[in-house]
């Protein structure tokens, strides 16, 4: 018997990086996993490579920026499994380190829709379900970019600060009704989230500021290390933790 003991978990951004390792870790701990991602081919690869031949892994293509697709996702998951116990809002995108004067409307909307609006809508959809079952566990994948001002651009930083606030508010307001809501704030992790950053477009001053901050980073982390933190919040070992943002950054923000 694993730590999750047949609980049903819905994970977004599941096909790569932290999301992929969360799915695999949950499967190892006897959960049933509904893996959602916008990339259908990556989802198929996820299922093919899953431990135990992926028998407890179910994949659903979904664009979390579209409310109707989220409604379809939740409906399909509940219809197939009967209930959902755990929600991991992992899907996220990075900005290009633009300061506020350089952020376009389209860039702002893209970051907010994926990093904040998508998690908000999924939480809003699932809270009534959790209340009905008197149990629910929400884990939002945030960032140390949501704790300090110099880890990303204006849009990404704002989205993660807001996600942390949403986490704390939700954890507090539903604490007496069997629902927990926490966030994990990773530091620098070896994923592909930063692949789209065009460092050639950064000004000299901005580049120097970023380099100064990166020099303080003790080391890069691996997705599987964050998956272990998510597992801790997902299981009953962390039953007293609610409304918290748990930092996992190898002491980068300790300076």
pLDDT in tens, 211-248: 788 888 999 999 999 999 999 999 999 999 999 999 99
Nearest alpha carbon to residue 148 among 157, 135, 137, 159: 157
Q: Is the pLDDT of residue 193 over 90?
A: no
Q: CB–CB of 15/243 below 8 Å? A: no
Q: Is residue 211 part of a domain?
A: yes
Q: Is residue 1 part of a domain?
A: no
* Six token digits for residue 63: 């664009």
Q: Is residue 255 part of a domain?
A: no
The number of distinct structural domains making up the chain is 1
Catalytic-labelled residue, pool 24, 135, 156, 255:
156
Average of per-residue pLDDT values in the chain? 94
Question: How far is 249 from 9, CA to CA, in rounded Å?
Answer: 25
Q: Is the pLDDT of residue 196 over 90?
A: no
pLDDT of residue 185: 98
If you average pLDDT over residues 149-174, what whole number do you get? 96
Please say if 255 is a catalytic residue.
no
CATH number at residue 55: 3.40.50.720
pTM (predicted TM-score) = 0.95
Q: Is residue 125 part of a domain?
A: yes
Question: How far is 254 from 144, CA to CA, in rounded Å?
Answer: 11
Question: How far is 34 from 43, CA to CA, in rounded Å?
Answer: 11
Q: Is the pLDDT of residue 192 over 80?
A: no
Host domain of residue 144: 8-250
Partners of 10 in beta bridges: 34, 87
How would residue 1 be classed by pLDDT, with cut points 50, 70 and 90? Answer: confident
If you average pLDDT over residues 118-147, what whole number do you get? 98
HSE, side-chain direction, 13 A CA sphere, residue 164: 20
pLDDT of residue 127: 98
- pLDDT digits 0-9 by tens, 22-59: 999 999 999 999 999 999 999 999 999 987 767 899 99
Question: How far is 127 from 138, CA to CA, in rounded Å?
Answer: 9
Least confident range from 73-82, 102-111, 182-191, 195-204: namely 195-204
């Amino acid at each position: 018997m694993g730590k999750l003991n047949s609980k049903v978990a819905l994970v977004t951004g599941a096909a790569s990086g932290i999301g992929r390792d969360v799915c695999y870790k949950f499967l190892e701990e006897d959960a049933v996993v509904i893996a959602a991602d916008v990339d259908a081919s990556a989802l198929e690869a996820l299922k093919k490579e899953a431990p135990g031949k992926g028998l407890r892994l179910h994949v659903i293509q979904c664009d979390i920026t579209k409310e109707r697709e989220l409604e379809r996702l939740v409906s399909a998951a509940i219809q197939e499994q009967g209930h959902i116990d755990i929600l991991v809002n992992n899907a996220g995108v990075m900005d290009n380190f633009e300061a506020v004067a350089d952020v376009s409307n389209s860039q702002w909307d893209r970051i907010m829709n994926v990093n904040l609006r998508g998690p908000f809508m999924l939480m809003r959809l699932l809270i009534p379900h959790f209340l009905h079952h008197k149990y629910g566990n929400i884990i939002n994948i945030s960032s140390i970019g949501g704790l300090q001002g110099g880890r990303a651009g204006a849009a990404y930083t704002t989205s993660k600060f807001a996600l942390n606030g949403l986490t704390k508010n939700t954890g507090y307001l539903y604490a007496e009704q069997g629902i927990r809501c926490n966030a994990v704030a990773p530091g620098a992790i070896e994923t592909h989230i930063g692949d789209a950053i065009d460092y050639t477009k950064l000004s000299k001053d901005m580049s120097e500021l970023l380099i100064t901050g990166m020099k303080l980073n003790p080391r890069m982390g691996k997705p599987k290390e964050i998956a272990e933190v998510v597992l801790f919040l997902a299981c009953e070992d962390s039953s007293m933790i609610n409304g918290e943002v748990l930092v996992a950054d190898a002491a980068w923000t300790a300076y």
